[in-house]
Amino acid sequence: MKTLKILITGSSGLIGSEAVRYFGAQGHKIIGIDNNLRKYFFGKDGDTSWNLKTLLNSSIDFTHLDVDIRDRTKIQDIYKTHRPDVTIHCASQPSHDLAAKIPFDDFDTNAVGTLNLLEASRRFTLESPFIYMSTNKVYGDTPNELELIETPTRYDYKDPAYYDGIDETMRIDRTKHSLFGASKAAADLVTQEYGRYFNMPTVCFRGGCLTGPAHSAVELHGFLSYFVKAALTGKKYTIFGYKGKQVRDQIHSKDVVRAFECFINKPRSGEVYNLGGGRNNSISILECINLLKDSFGLTLDYTYSDNNRIGDHICYISNLKKLKSHYPEWAISIDVISIIKEIINTKRDIQKES
C-alpha cells in the first residue's frame, strides 16, 4: 500500500485509536478528529484524553484536531485543506440508553455529523474510500422476532438457518430501535446513498460488540471492558433482563481495523457488512461470569433487574459470510478468551500506575 493521508474521526476512542496505531505504524500520515465528547456524554470514566496522550507521544505521523464533527464549516475546511486519501469515521454518541435523554445531541452527532463528513468528502475527495463504523442496532428489535431456544446459560436461534448469525438481509425498518439505533440507521442509510447515488466508495460496517483494552468503558456503553473492570475493582454490576442469558459476539478492535484495511485496498460503492466476532466469539453474560471465575479467578458482584434495556438484543451473532466472501484474506484472529485476558492485563497495569 502506498503512503496515504488517512482522516480518522473519534481518533481517541476504541476503534479510532486502534486505527491510528495500526495505520500509523505502517507509515501513513494520520489526521485525527476528536473533541472528547465521550467525556461529555459519560463523565470522567468516559474520558479518552489518556488515549490521546499515548498517541501524541508515539512515533507515528499523527496530527490531532480538536474539532466537533457537528461543525459543518470546520469539517469542510479540514477536507479542503488536507484532502485525505481515506476517511475512517468512528465518532459517535454510542449509547442507546443515553440517547433518550439527549436526543438532539444524539441525532446531531450520529446522523448530521456523518452527513457533514460525507458531503465534505464528496466535494473534495470524491474517489477516496469512506468507511463508516455503523452498528447492529440499526436492525432494532427485528432480531428479537426470531424464535429462540433457552439453554442453562444462553439464548440461541432455533432455526438452523441462523446458526452462523444474522446477515445483511435482515430488515432495519418497521421495528423499535431506541433513538440511538434510529440515528445510527439514518447515518448508515445516507452513507449507502452517497455511495450509490454519487458512486463514492463508501461502506457501512455494522459492528457487533466492539472491544479491546483501549476502551474507556462505562455502564451505558462498552459491555465486556466494563464487565471486566467491575470484576477487578469489586464494583457492583447490574444485569438488565433476559436472565443474563443475552448473547453478544465480541470482536477485538484490531480485527475491526483489519477489515477496514481490506476495504481500503479493494473499495466498493455503497457496501454494507456485518462485523462482529461471529459464532465462535459469542458469549452470554452468564457465560462471561463463569469464564471470569473459572479461567481468571475473578468473581463478579452483581444484581439482577427484570427490566431489559429498550432496543436491546436477546441474542445477536454476526454472520460474517458476506465480508469473508468479498475479502477472503480477512478472518477473526483474536478469540474471546484472549480478548478478556488482554483487557484484564491492561486494566491491572493501569491500576498499578495509578
CB 45 within 8 A of CB 283: no
Comparing 13-22, 96-105, 342-351, the range with the smallest average pLDDT is 342-351
pLDDT at 99: 93
Average pLDDT of the segment spanning 267-277: 98
pLDDT at 61: 97
Question: Is the per-residue pLDDT at 138 higher than 90?
Answer: yes
Comparing 30-39, 158-167, 209-218, the range with the smallest average pLDDT is 209-218
- pLDDT tens-digit map of 257-271: 999 999 999 999 999
Residue type, 115: L
d(CA 167, CA 319): 5
CB 177 within 8 A of CB 311: yes
pLDDT at 326: 98
Mean pLDDT of the chain: 94
pLDDT at 249: 96
pLDDT at 351: 62
- pLDDT tens-digit map of 49-75: 988 999 999 999 999 999 999 999 999
Question: Which spans in the chain are helix H?
Answer: 14-25, 37-42, 49-56, 72-82, 96-99, 103-107, 113-124, 179-197, 223-233, 253-265, 285-296, 321-326, 336-353
pLDDT at 9: 98
pLDDT at 48: 87
- pLDDT tens-digit map of 162-213: 999 999 999 999 999 999 999 999 999 999 999 999 999 999 999 999 998 8
d(CA 329, CA 265): 11
Domains of the chain with bracketed CATH = 5-353 (3.40.50.720)
Residue (of 285, 195, 278) closest to 241 by Cα position: 285
pTM of the complete model: 0.94
Q: SS3 string of 47-82?
A: CCHHHHHHHHCCCCCEEEECCCCCCHHHHHHHHHHH
Question: Is the per-residue pLDDT at 114 higher than 90?
Answer: yes
350 compared with 251, residue with greater pLDDT: 251
Question: Is the per-residue pLDDT at 118 higher than 90?
Answer: yes
- Percent of the chain, pLDDT > 70? 96
pLDDT at 223: 78
Tell me how crowded residue 151 is: count the other CB atoms within 10 A of its CB.
Answer: 12
Question: Is the per-residue pLDDT at 222 higher than 70?
Answer: no
pLDDT at 217: 61
Average pLDDT of the segment spanning 110-124: 98
271-275 β-sheet, strand order? 62-65, 29-33, 5-9, 86-89, 130-135, 202-207, 271-275
pLDDT at 289: 95
260 compared with 224, residue with greater pLDDT: 260
pLDDT at 353: 64
d(CA 141, CA 261): 31
| Helices 113-124/72-82 angle, 10° precision | 30
